Chains A and B, each alone.
Chain A
Amino acid sequence: MKKSILSLCLIGGIFSVLPAVAGPEEDRLAMVKYYSDRFPDVPMQEFANGLYAFDQSAREQWIEMEDFPPYEIAIDDGQVLFETPFANGKSYADCFDNGGIGVKQDYPYFDADAGEVVTLELAINQCREANGEKALAYMIGELAEIAAYMAYTSRGNEFAIQVPLDSPGAVAAYSAGKQFFYTRRGQLNFACSSCHIQSAGLNLRADRLSTTLGQATHWPVYRSKWGEIGTIQKRFAECNSQVWAKPLEAQSVEYRNLEYFLSYISNGLELNGPASRR
Chain B
Amino acid sequence: MIGKYVFLAMGLAIVAGCGLQPSRDRSASPTVSFAETYAAAEAALAKAAASRNVWSKTEGLLQQSKIANDEGRKEDAIQLANEARMQAELALTQAISQEKDWQENVLF
Contacts and interface: CB of A to CB of B under 8 A. Distances in A.
B103 A11 contact: no
A33 B107 CA distance: 12
Nearest to B19: A9
A184 B90 CA distance: 12
B14 A191 contact: no
B26 interface: no
B12 interface: yes
A18 B104 CA distance: 11
Contacts of A254: 52
B106 A193 contact: yes
Given A179-B102, A182-B103, A245-B53, 13 more contacts: A8-B14, A12-B14, A13-B11, A16-B8, A16-B12, A16-B103, A18-B11, A30-B108, A34-B108, A182-B105, A245-B54, A248-B52, A254-B52
Nearest to A197: B107
A100 interface: no
B11 A184 contact: no
Interface string B72-95: 000000000000000100010010
Contact of B103 (A17, A31, A33): A17
Contacts of B56: 186-187, 241, 244-246
A16 B15 contact: yes
Given A8-B14, A193-B105, A193-B107, A186 B8 contact: no
A15 interface: yes
B10 interface: yes
A19 interface: yes
Overall SS of chain A's interface? helix
A13 B8 contact: no
Interface residues on A, range: 35 or more
Interface string B49-75: 000111111110000000000000000
B18 interface: yes
A212 to B, nearest CB: 11
A13 B11 CA distance: 6
Interface of A: 5, 8-9, 11-20, 30-31, 33-34, 179, 182-187, 189, 191, 193-194, 197-198, 241, 244-246, 248, 254
A243 to B, nearest CB: 9
A11 B106 contact: no
A185 B13 contact: no
A186 B52 CA distance: 11
30 contacts: A5-B18, A8-B14, A9-B18, A11-B14, A12-B12, A12-B13, A12-B14, A13-B11, A13-B15, A14-B11, A15-B10, A15-B11, A16-B11, A17-B103, A18-B4, A20-B106, A30-B108, A182-B105, A183-B98, A183-B102, A183-B105, A184-B98, A185-B98, A186-B56, A187-B55, A187-B91, A193-B106, A194-B105, A198-B107, A246-B56
